[in-house]
Structure 1
């Protein structure tokens, strides 16, 4: 019947291949990923160290350029106002002469005030040293006159020795070299500042030529944020420093402390070093008051009053002036400021301490606009 017919054979479906586990290797497990990240971090650190080392070799160029950039950013609103009313060259010359006049006037006022009151301060210092010696002689373990004479003779022998003379000679040569480096840097800063003020937008446009698309927009934001942050920081710090100097200077003048004017100007300059600058200014003012008590004829009491004035002015600055004049956006945490000051001082001394905080503020500002206006970098978003 149906023996001769064959039913078609049914083909079984193709088996689904089982998922294969990813190949495991030395760089794919947890330790491998950790090692990869460690190598990346080491590479970044080596690159940063190389850049810093290279910049330290040419500090005579790097520091004047940075100072010129900071000053140009601080005076950008004034330059924009002048450029709209007169030729760019004339506006640049007027502003540059005004900057040089202000800086030179502050230095001249400090030197003139110190020279005018040097004799009085010297006599007060001698009197203060005599008082300290008299107090030491009242102690039970005070050295006798023979020991003091022996120490004085040893000091004289050291001062007249050949070794000290050679040290003085090498120190004089180093001093001449330092003065020459300072003058070179000052001239370079003035020239660079002239071109930053005159052709700042053109220079930045030339820097942006290699970038396109998203990176061009990002670099535009970086440049604008850098100028805005540096300008706001310098102008705000200068306003706070002026208030500090006026408050402390009035207190020194009322107490009739010698060198009140140069100390006031020194307070203004040191205020550009956050936290540390105010402390140094207070110490110097208290030491001068301790040597010469002014009209009170009591050095210790005058020093205590000066310290109280400095502390009061600094509290007023930290709690009221900085938030208003500088804004919350530029306010860095105190720990960040201290770390930046330490690193800057180790790398470039006093100038490093002055530049560390504004450069740190610029870096944080760039992070805040890295992915767009009001859009920080991905890892920095809350």
Structure 2
């Protein structure tokens, strides 16, 4: 005890913390139910958006195609805009796009349509020969099962190519032609404004955003245009190389219908993985029926398959990394899932657009929190 100094009172005891209030929505099952409701709400919203887009395909598809073309030709437009008035540059580029792409598509469609019956008959005969060979195997399926598979495959190919409604009569055909013309005109008009005023339109759309979100949306727009343009230009270059390589092989083997097969290779190359495989199978079936200068159709088919495999290996290991960059390369599982979803939602056009749109989404994630900073959940975790 020290005299002359008052003893301090002991500190008051801290009351125990009140236990957290518990209720039906605060325990583990309540949190799970809350998350489930949130997920259901997101799924319902996404389903509503998809339903609306599918019912507005006459508008949605031309706008998407206009965005794709504008992104693909954005470097050319930037170069022209720096040397001449914007309107003149837009008119020149738009006429070039419509003329070149329209001419190429017209030539392809004409060449394929002119010999489509011969191509179909050759492929059918090739399938018949394959089926006859399968029947010689010890565990071959019976003829009834094979016939059912072949009919199902024919139905799928017919529905995928022409749509289920085009065979219902002349009214459906006129409606389809009218929708195509309307969509084509709308796409050209929208493409004109995207080429001419693309940056101005994007700045207008960014007006509601401020501060960090404004900078983020700027990164998103720039990354989306760069990714989509690079993907389309790279895929076009890869498709051209695939078609040239396989076409030269078919011509050397003197396979009939080599030109239509080459054009089909170019068109189908825009569908990753699946497209090249389908083109190779079709070319091999034609070679199996008529081996060209070879008397052995089976040997010609094997050589065609080897050419297709070699070109695909060159594409996957050299062309795509050089022309498209590894940053745009998606995992094969992601590609297959995107192709499946796109095909289910929009048929062949969905299969073509699904992968570039998936690449755009991945590119947006990569710049979500900074120029080179992905979203937090997408960053690589440091190992302890």
Describe the SS at the equivalent of 1:295: coil
Relative to structure 2, which stretch is displaced further, 13-22 or 75-84?
A: 13-22
Deviation sequence 1:312-335 (CA, Å, 0-9, x none)? 101111111111111111111000
Q: What is residue 53 of structure 2 aligned with on the other side? A: 55
Go from structure 1 to structure 2 and tell me whether the alpha carbon gap of 1:257 and 1:83 turns closer, same or farther (over 3 Å shift).
Answer: same
Partner of 2:371: 373
Q: Which residue does 2:214 correspond to in 1?
A: 216
Contact 1:121 1:292 in 2 (8 A): no
What CA deviation, in whole Å up to 9, does each residue of 1:118-155 have, x standing for no partner?
A: 7976997899899999999x9xxxxxxxxxxxxxxxxx
Residue number in structure 2 paired with 1:189: 187
> Could you say which residue in structure 1 is the equivalent of 2:306?
308
Stretch moving more, 300-309 or 65-74: 300-309
CA contact (8 A) 2:115 2:260 kept: no
Residue 108 of structure 1 corresponds to 106
Cα distance in 2, alignment partners of residues 379 and 106 from structure 1:
44
CA 1:134/1:268 → structure 2, altered by over 3 Å: closer, same or farther? closer
CA–CA distance in 2 between the matches of 1:213 and 1:311?
51
Aligned equivalent of 2:327, options 321, 326, 329: 329
3-state SS of the aligned residue for 1:375?
A: coil
- Match of residue 198 from structure 2: 200
- Pair member with larger Rg: 1
After superposition, the C-alpha distances for 1:89-125 in whole angstroms (9 at most, x for unaligned) are 1111111111112222222322443466579769978
Give 3-state SS (helix, strand or coil) of 1:19's partner. coil
How many residues are matched?
A: 346
For residues 259 and 38 of structure 1, what CA distance do their matches in structure 2 show?
56
Give the corresponding residue for 1:26: 24
Aligned pairs for 1:273-292 (under 5 A) are 273-292=271-290
Tell me the distance in 2 between the aligned counterparts of 1:376 and 1:114. 45
> What are structure 2's unaligned runs of at least 5 residues?
1-5, 137-164
Contact 1:113 1:259 in 2 (8 A): no
- Offset, 1:12: 7.3
Gaps of at least 5 residues in structure 1 are 1-7, 139-166
Structure 1 pair 51–350 and aligned structure 2 pair: CA distance change class (3 A): same
Compared CA separation, residues 339 and 115, structure 1 to 2 (3 A): closer
Report the Cα distance in structure 2 between the residues aligned to 1:256 and 1:184, rounded to whole angstroms: 42
* Helix, strand or coil at the partner of 1:294: coil
Name the CA distance, whole Å, in 2 between partners of 1:309 and 1:97.
37
